[in-house]
Structures are given as structure tokens and as C-alpha cells.
Amino acid sequence: MPCPYCNGRGYKEIEATTDIECRIYWERKYFIDVGISIDIPDMMIQTISKTSDFDKINKANYLIPHYGDMDKYVNQKFEKHGQSYPQGFKQNKVKYFVTFWKLANQN
């Protein structure tokens, strides 16, 4: 039966999840230099992902890291902080990109 309010023109938003393999840097002193000056507030992480996952990261509203058994104890949500930056490593032909994430408010 169509919605009586919008007469079937609306839509229901459904949240989708996907797994993305990436490297996470938890401490600022280990962050990869992206070549420009960036103000990095506290409670930030940096991820490095393959360019094949760029569209997934670009569409993502947030990141929930899962690694080993730690997600049994800690379930943190991070929001994307700005744009992603391309990153290449001379010894590796695979291209990557760097994204910064800030800890979302935990209520």
C-alpha cells in the first residue's frame, strides 16, 4: 500500500555497511605526510586505503574500525574529516589515498 502522506513518492533510507581493508594510524606522530599543512585536532585517526576503495570511502558517512578481538571491547565511530588525499609509495606500484577521521560524539 502506498504511503498516504506522500502518495508513494518518498523513499525509506536504509543504511548499508561494507568492509574495507585499510591501514589505521592511531597516533599523530605516525601519520603519513600528505604534503600540505593540515590542522589535526585531538581524537583523530588516519587511514591509508587502496584507490580501488576510493568510491566506498568517499560515500561513507562514518568508519567503525574492526581489528582482531578489540571490537569486543571497544566500538568507536569516526566521521570523515575533510577530503581524501592521493598517496603513492616509490617501492610499490599500487596507488593509495589517505583519509583523516575524527572521533564522533559518543552519547
pLDDT, tens digit, 9 for 90 and up, residues 42-86: 788 899 999 999 999 999 989 988 877 766 667 788 999 888 888
On whether residue 48 sits in a domain, the answer given is yes
Q: How many Å apart are CA 32 and CA 11, to the nearest integer?
A: 41
In-domain check, residue 11 = no
Residue 107 has pLDDT above 60, yes or no: no
User: Which domain, by its residues, includes 33?
Assistant: 22-103
Domain-embedded: residue 93: yes
**Does residue 5 belong to any structural domain of this protein?**
no
Q: Is residue 13 part of a domain?
A: no
Give the pTM.
Answer: 0.76
Per the structure, how many domains does the chain have?
Answer: 1
Q: To the nearest whole number, what is the mean pLDDT of the chain?
A: 82
The answer to the question of residue 8 being in a domain is no
Assess if residue 40 is contained within a domain. Answer: yes
